[in-house]
Amino acid sequence: MVAVVTISMLGMQVGATPMSYAITISQASVAVNPSKYIQHKQTTLEAKVPNINVYRSPDCSCCGGWIAHLKTQGFSIQDFPTPDIDAVKQRYKVPDNLTSCHTAIVNGYVIEGHVPANDIKRLLQERPNVSGLSVPQMPVGTPGMEIGNKFDPFTVYSFAPKNKIMVFNDYPLRTN
């Protein structure tokens, strides 16, 4: 009889390669000299880096700041400057009251506006039954909208078909 113990270390660290360790122990060998019969096998796992397709106006500078924020948080970005950003919002059914300057798609979810990377990571981890997340308009202090030490309070909304809109996360007024 062989007992197999598998320990997985999965993480989203830039530059780190997660490893999986399998330790095989023969039951008959444990009584004699357990360390003599333990076999260590190490295999490299590919880190799952979410790919985000970003659709934005070619003239928008704050979108570049948001893209840079996502890259520092480990996301892989495909940038699609498009002159008709409204058509993208209509295609992905972003509610009119939740629109912002750019629309992104990640693992089937719509991300509208300057949504912080941690909220996107939470969305991908929890996998709620929603269409996506939005930070409407362009609040000062959101990723890509940094202006010195100024921060507006803002809300990250989740949205689903039939205009079902809920608060996903709240960022109160901050002072530095």
Cβ neighbours around 105 below 10 Å, total:
19
Residue 109: is its pLDDT beyond 60? Answer: yes
Q: Is the pTM of this model over 0.75?
A: no
60 Cβ partners below 8 Å, 6+ apart? Answer: 101, 102
Nearest-angstrom CA–CA distance, 123 and 43: 29
Name the pLDDT band for 163 (thresholds 50, 70, 90). Answer: confident
What confidence tens digit (pLDDT) does each residue in 89-105 have?
A: 999 999 999 999 999 99
Nearest-angstrom CA–CA distance, 106 and 120: 9
Name the pLDDT band for 35 (thresholds 50, 70, 90). Answer: very low
> For the residues 40-55, what does the mean pLDDT come to?
64
Query: What is the per-residue pLDDT for 152?
Result: 95
Query: What is the per-residue pLDDT for 176?
Result: 61
Residue 133: is its pLDDT beyond 70? Answer: yes
Higher pLDDT, 164 or 45: 164
Name the pLDDT band for 174 (thresholds 50, 70, 90). Answer: confident
What confidence tens digit (pLDDT) does each residue in 51-90 have?
A: 999 999 999 889 999 999 999 999 999 999 999 999 999 9
Query: What is the per-residue pLDDT for 165?
Result: 97
The 10 Å CB-count burial string (b at 16+, else e) for 118-131 is ebbeebeeeeeebb
> For the residues 151-167, what does the mean pLDDT come to?
95
Report the chain's mean pLDDT, rounded to a whole number: 79
The three-state DSSP-derived secondary structure of the chain is: CEEEEEEECCCCCCCCCCEEEEEEEEHHHHCCCHHHHCEEEEEECCCCCCEEEEEECCCCCHHHHHHHHHHHCCCEEEEEECCCHHHHHHHCCCCHHHCCCEEEEECCEEEEECCCHHHHHHHHHHCCCCCEEEECCCCCCCCCCCECCECCCEEEEEEECCCEEEEEEEECCCCC
Residue 9: is its pLDDT beyond 60? Answer: no
Query: What is the per-residue pLDDT for 61?
Result: 87
The 10 Å CB-count burial string (b at 16+, else e) for 132-141 is bbbbbbbbeb
Query: What is the per-residue pLDDT for 162?
Result: 87
Residue 161: is its pLDDT beyond 80? Answer: yes
